[in-house]
């Protein structure tokens, strides 16, 4: 088991022996949609990836990112923007017949998050947070029998963290301006699972980064 000390925090590769009420359990989230806002438009796919845990003293870095949840969903309306489909490459027409009902997908996702984070507090991680959170919270509250496993505010914005760590403005903390030290090994493909894993890698690198790193 590998461990490093950084800014007074201990980073350990592995998993906590036990999750407690004071432990944050992080889930990297990514979605692919057919438009800009939930309701008039639809989530077509989403992924959640376990991205570590933090108890206030030790951050537990996952050895792999193989704990994940991925689903493709039926659209909830007839409206869509072709530009969004061009980006994610999903076959919306096929999902109308083959995609999961949102009620099933969101309830299963909430149950999975609750099981993985049992004993701790699930935290939603995204980059940028505002887009993915607004969609996923709306879908959890609208469709899941269990509502949101992240409550109404347990969330972490990687973009804000990068701004603070690197001393940059938020507008200069976008993915396209990441320094090499924060770049993930995984590629950004616009497949929700691929991108959630890439994002988890960036999240870990940001957490470990020294505050004075250029």
Q: How many CB atoms lie within 10 A of CB 49?
A: 27
Query: Among this protein's residues, is 190 annotated catalytic?
Result: yes
Q: Which listed residue (188, 190, 191, 213) is catalytic?
A: 190
Contact 34, 80 (CB under 8 A): yes
Residues annotated as catalytic are 190
């Amino acid at each position: 088991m590998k461990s490093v000390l950084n800014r007074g925090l201990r980073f350990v590769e592995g998993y906590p022996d036990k999750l407690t009420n004071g432990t944050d359990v992080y889930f990297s989230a990514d979605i692919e949609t057919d438009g800009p806002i939930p309701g008039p438009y639809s989530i077509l796919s989403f992924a959640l990836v376990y991205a570590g845990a933090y108890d206030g003293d030790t951050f537990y870095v996952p050895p792999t990112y193989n704990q994940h949840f991925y689903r493709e969903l039926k659209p909830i309306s007839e409206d869509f923007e072709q530009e969004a489909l061009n980006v994610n490459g999903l076959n919306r027409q096929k999902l109308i017949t083959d995609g999961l009902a949102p009620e099933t997908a969101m309830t299963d996702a909430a149950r999975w998050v609750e099981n993985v984070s049992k004993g701790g507090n699930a935290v939603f991680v995204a980059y940028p947070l505002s887009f993915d959170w607004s969609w996923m919270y709306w879908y959890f509250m609208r469709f899941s029998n269990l509502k949101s496993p992240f409550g109404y505010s347990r969330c972490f914005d990687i973009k804000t963290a990068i701004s603070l760590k690197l001393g940059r403005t938020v507008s200069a903390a976008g993915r396209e301006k990441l320094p090499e030290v924060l770049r993930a090994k995984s590629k950004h493909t616009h497949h929700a699972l691929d991108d959630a894993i890439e994002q988890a890698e960036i999240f870990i690198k940001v957490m470990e980064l020294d505050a004075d790193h250029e």
